[in-house]
Structure 1
């Protein structure tokens, strides 16, 4: 596939020098990679780095750990490996995975090819699924609070209709005992909209659900394409966790620590969330 080869070529070009942190990053990001990451002509170097970094990190979630580390470090996306020369980053990868530099280079090449495969597989699946779906989620915001007698989740969803006359959608809440607070009526597991939604129009609704069990982790799995996913977890100030870890993947894996703010909350943001992939947090 020509597009696959072009994306591989773009990624191999980007890994040179300082990787994504090269000064002329706009010139180093090829056309296929730009299209994949949604980079526009109006984007400056900062916006380009953010868009490309988010997309590559998102795709790398499903790679084996050694390949994920190899490709992210090669691009300069792991702070500890952000060396000015590519060969220095190769040395860092070799030490991290316990192999020699030659093997590390092979791991990087393997990871780049698999990233390209994942990128085009995702686009094909989305393209096939969207016409039948009838709608997708533009934004989802979930607030989970661990204060009070039960764990409670408040969800705000903004959906966009793909076809004229969207009247109802399936409703899946974070926990059980759902209640629609605004934006529709619950009937047999379906959310009936206040009025038919024309194609391209958006609609917001709010849902509450509760869980009598005190969980040690929280994950959200989109059932539709979701452009922007924001998760917040509010802990009991009298029982704050020692550590909170970011979870992502299929199955969900630890993606690093997340700091608590002064209100005892963590916030996690995910862009282009993929259907069937888990996103969330675990705490100890």
Structure 2
């Protein structure tokens, strides 16, 4: 029983603050010690300053997300570390354009209070390093989620990128980011290498009529092995696209696809 409680509590860290509190309280793992669900629902409503219907909705949302994480993640799920982590990331990469172009949609969750900056040097690496060189060679446009900042990485001359949200994020608060990333060149792979917890990553790569000779799925591989590992063969669909999805990505491992033109 204790292992079940530990697994539920660990997965609940990937939820937003209100959903996490509602789910754990409804399950009797947090909040008041009452054995009656209606009492726990009333406590949730009072604690989040909402009516009882909203509290029930938060419980349904939190329990549904928690059940999905437990079903697909199990004991291997990653505990969030750092000041923020990724709940969901969706990348649409078009290789049939004059320049490789990616739209990156990311839902992040703040792990610290008053989080006022998100390090996109990590984000660019985690969502697939498009450029052959550094951040100076990548064009990034923010479609939603804040203001783009250019920073210096320590004492080096390399330019980094950061995003300042419209307002500082509270612990457990979810925040949506939408970016467009363009570059003149890119390596023949696109991978996510999370630096902290990433619950879900979906990737669509559109080759169009430029169908590669081979496409391979890369799942939980070392970055140094991106070119050498065999990978699982994939087929493009009728539109010349490949779609892949990953759950509960392990930090420092690569997830994505590789192709040979």
Tell whether the structures are fold-level matches, with TM greater than 0.5. Answer: yes
Give the unaligned 5+ runs of structure 1: 1-30, 57-118
Could you say if the C-alpha distance between residues 282 and 183 of structure 1 is closer, same or farther in structure 2, counting changes exceeding 3 Å? same
* 1:263 counterpart = 2:239: yes
Residue 195 of structure 1, aligned match among 167, 179, 183: 167
Could you say if the C-alpha distance between residues 48 and 201 of structure 1 is closer, same or farther in structure 2, counting changes exceeding 3 Å? closer
Q: Is the 8 A contact 1:150 1:214 kept in 2?
A: no
* Correspondences of 1:131-146 after superposition (within 5 Å): 133-146=82-95
Q: Is the 8 A contact 2:107 2:176 kept in 1?
A: yes
Could you tell me the TM-score, scaled by structure 1's length?
0.54
Give the unaligned 5+ runs of structure 2: 12-26, 28-62, 131-137, 151-160
Could you say if the C-alpha distance between residues 195 and 276 of structure 1 is closer, same or farther in structure 2, counting changes exceeding 3 Å? same
* 1:155 counterpart = 2:104: yes
Structure ranking higher on relative contact order (CA contacts 8 Å, 6+ apart): 2
Equivalent-residue separation in structure 2 for 1:48 and 1:280 (angstroms):
20
Could you say if the C-alpha distance between residues 270 and 161 of structure 1 is closer, same or farther in structure 2, counting changes exceeding 3 Å? same
Shift of 1:254: 3.2
Q: Is the 8 A contact 1:146 1:214 kept in 2?
A: no
Equivalent-residue separation in structure 2 for 1:134 and 1:257 (angstroms):
36
Equivalent-residue separation in structure 2 for 1:257 and 1:264 (angstroms):
15
Q: What is the aligned partner in structure 2 of residue 11 from structure 1?
A: none
* Correspondences of 1:66-105 after superposition (within 5 Å): none
Shift of 1:223: 2.4
Q: Higher helix fraction: Structure 1 or Structure 2?
A: 1
Could you say if the C-alpha distance between residues 140 and 48 of structure 1 is closer, same or farther in structure 2, counting changes exceeding 3 Å? closer
